[in-house]
Amino acid sequence: MPPTTIKARGILFDLDGTLISSTTICESVWHKWAEVYPVDLTEVFKSSHGIRTRELLQHWLKITDPIELEAATEKFETDVLKEAQRLASTGKGGITLLPGVEKILLALNTATKDAIKWAIVTSATNAYATNAITTFSLPKTSHLITADEVSQGKPHPEPYIMGAAALGLKPTDCIVFEDAPSGVKAGVASGARVIAVCTSHKRSALEGLGAHLIVEDLSE
């Protein structure tokens, strides 16, 4: 099968599940929280990926007070980072860098001719995203769009519209890389071309959502 070429002036990457993976850690934290809050974890895991933490806690744990919700969001993401650090210190894993990520980001940052602008657009908070990026010493982008900056999270297109604007571009000038159905929907709704990666979901879960291309991971 010949290579597929999709031209763009900007690239918008999702973070968790596309560049890094913390799925098993997040699930571990959910199990601990379920000891306090009555919640159906099977249903949570089916639909939680790619959704902002605050919206997940509001929906599944029925936390509606704004102050309590903000505190719970901060605690949940702090718990994820602590669990990741604990596992990493014992050699049992932790947050992992996904295949092809370092190579593609370094290539984007070192390109001198026809350089393509890029940004990270994540459903995580700024505190979580910044910590994760620093932990892996990911090639730097000057543009990071987080859950704190948008009024509506994925699958609403606002995050990717804002990401494109940060690059001085329209979404139609950009390619979105996403692993979650909610993120694919957000990218498509923004008008960007979307490449879905099967790093956290089966191909069947990403088909029929409007992605222009589906690949196994960024090493392709």
Can you say how many angstroms the Cα of residue 100 is from the centroid of all Cα atoms in its chain?
16
User: Bridge-partner residues for 10, per DSSP?
Assistant: 117, 174
Residue whose C-alpha is closest to residue 176's, from 132, 131, 214, 133: 214
Is there a catalytic annotation at residue 14? yes
Q: Tell me the residue ranges of DSSP E strands in 171-218.
A: 174-178, 193-197, 213-215
Beta-strand pair 20-21/96-97: antiparallel
Show the tokens assigned to 79.
Answer: 């718990």
- In the DSSP assignment, the letter for residue 101 is H
Helix (H) or strand (E) holding 197: strand 193-197
Q: Are strands 193-197 and 213-215 parallel, antiparallel or unpaired?
A: parallel
Out of 14, 40, 148, 173, the active site residue is 14
Alpha carbon distance 176, 196 (integer Å): 8
Q: Report in angstroms the alpha-carbon separations of 45 from 37, 128, 176, 180, 211.
A: 15, 20, 23, 12, 22
Q: Which whole-number Å values give the CA distances from 32 to 43, 79, 175, in the listed order? A: 16, 10, 37
Catalytic residue ranges: 14, 16
